[in-house]
Structure 1
Amino acid sequence: MTRRTLLAFLLILGPALIWYLFIRPIPTEVTIYFTRVQDGEATLAPVTRLVLARSVGTRLRGAYEALLAGPSAGERALGLTTEIPAGTRLRGLAVAGEMVVVDLTADVERGGGSSSMLGRVWQIVFTGTQISGVSRVRILIDGEARESMGGEGMPIEEPFTRPPSIPRF
């Protein structure tokens, strides 16, 4: 092989090899949290999803997109639901140290009541904090930090941490 041929070969395969080894998304399991009624109270129910990701940010993005897609037909048949209103979309996501900032569309505020608002907040918090190294979740709505969410006035001005046990609401 001549030097020119070897150089051409490396120029073509080098970037592909770097992408394959260090950049390409790899299938990764994440846990997302839906809701279910148990003993007359609503609680969270963990479900595993496979997402393509490489970094903490892409894992979280995949987890939140799966959460917002809602339970599958099979999961619904098993009694899993979501308190997050249909149509809610992820506008953005940023990881800052141990905190993830999740920016959702205003659809997240629609409908429900106090119990529903608690449920959707806990779904968002537990889904975010299942990633190692993430201990706090900050919720933005349409790009804005707000004091509260929904007509019930669910406080969201401070980042949330995961409680030691799965809440009932």
Structure 2
Amino acid sequence: MKEQNQTRNISVGIVASVCALAVAVGGGIALWTNLKSTTTKTSDNSQNLTNPSTQNSPNQTLPVPPPATIDSPDSQLSPFSIQPEPKAVTEKTVELYWVKDSAGEIGLVSSGVKIKAANEPEAILTAAFDRLLSGPENTDVVSAIPEGTKIQALTVENNGVYIDLSEEFTSGGGSASMMGRLGQVIYTASSLEPDVKVWIFVGGKPLEMLGGEGLEVSQPITRQNFQQEFQLN
């Protein structure tokens, strides 16, 4: 009986020891799990604080690059910053045409003048007409073109020269004056190329009738046409 009681006490002690060990191990595992979870959350929070881009904030927006400034390489590629190369200026002798009364007969005479302008037909002819409209320097000749006449436009195209004069061109004078001023314009406009066709406009409209006497003007007109249609020497 005494031995049975001792055996029962040993068994109970062993069971209690095993239970205590199990509880200790379980508590240790739980503690380790809690520590690991806490460490992981702390690490994640630390990464979120150091890397704001990982936060899922509803107000988060992508960074916007700053606008280009004057010193930006992209702004230097703007077409407005590219300056055109200056055109070469040349000196060229051009024939201007005037009216001369010789023994009661009106004819056209030429005088060579030196023009400084860009080396382009339009620029040269425009400068030539500016000199023509300012009047002759030689007192032996006159201009039949009325004072105040201005060039509104002058272009040189593949098919000829187009010149637009102001309204003053058609004012005053008889038929002889009308023919003289028309010849001055045609011959001066064709001074670079004698056979070129010339279109004449007044106030933006094609010139069809010149003067109160109704001097009819065909368009386009050349030196050859002028000599055939109008009697000027």
TM-score > 0.5, shorter chain as reference = yes
Question: Cα deviations across residues 99-149 of structure 1 (Å, max 9, x unaligned)?
Answer: 111100010111111111000000000001111376111110011113212
Name the CA shift for 1:58/1:149 in 2 (closer, same or farther; >3 Å): same
Q: Which of 158, 161, 165 is 2:222 aligned to?
A: 161
Q: Residue 94 of structure 2 aligns with which residue?
A: 30
The 2-side partners of 1:133 and 1:120 are apart by 18
Question: Cα deviations across residues 48-87 of structure 1 (Å, max 9, x unaligned)?
Answer: 1111221011111111111111101xx01xx210100011
Q: Residue 165 of structure 2 aligns with which residue?
A: 104
Report the 3-state secondary structure (helix = DSSP H, G, I; strand = E; otherwise coil) of the residue aligned with 1:63.
Answer: helix
The TM-score with structure 2 as length reference comes to 0.58
How far apart are 1:165 and its partner, in Å?
9.5
How far apart are 1:157 and its partner, in Å?
4.5
Q: Structure 2: any 5+ residue segments left out of the alignment?
A: 1-82
The TM-score with structure 1 as length reference comes to 0.78
Percent of paired sites with the same residue: 29
Q: Structure 1: any 5+ residue segments left out of the alignment?
A: 1-14
The 2-side partners of 1:25 and 1:114 are apart by 40
Q: Which of 140, 144, 147 is 2:208 aligned to?
A: 147
Q: Which of 79, 83, 87 is 2:144 aligned to?
A: 83
Structure 1 stretch displaced more, 148-157 or 134-143: 148-157
In the alignment of these two chains, the number of paired residues is 147
Deviating runs (4+, > 3 A) in structure 1? 164-167
Report the 3-state secondary structure (helix = DSSP H, G, I; strand = E; otherwise coil) of the residue aligned with 1:118.
Answer: helix
Greater percentage in strand: 1
Name the CA shift for 1:133/1:39 in 2 (closer, same or farther; >3 Å): closer
Q: Residue 58 of structure 1 aligns with which residue?
A: 123
Q: Residue 103 of structure 2 aligns with which residue?
A: 39
Report the 3-state secondary structure (helix = DSSP H, G, I; strand = E; otherwise coil) of the residue aligned with 1:111.
Answer: coil
The 2-side partners of 1:149 and 1:49 are apart by 28
- Higher Rg: 2
Instruction: Choose between structure 1 and 2 for higher RCO, CA contacts under 8 A separated by at least 6 residues.
Output: 1
TM-align CA RMSD = 2.3
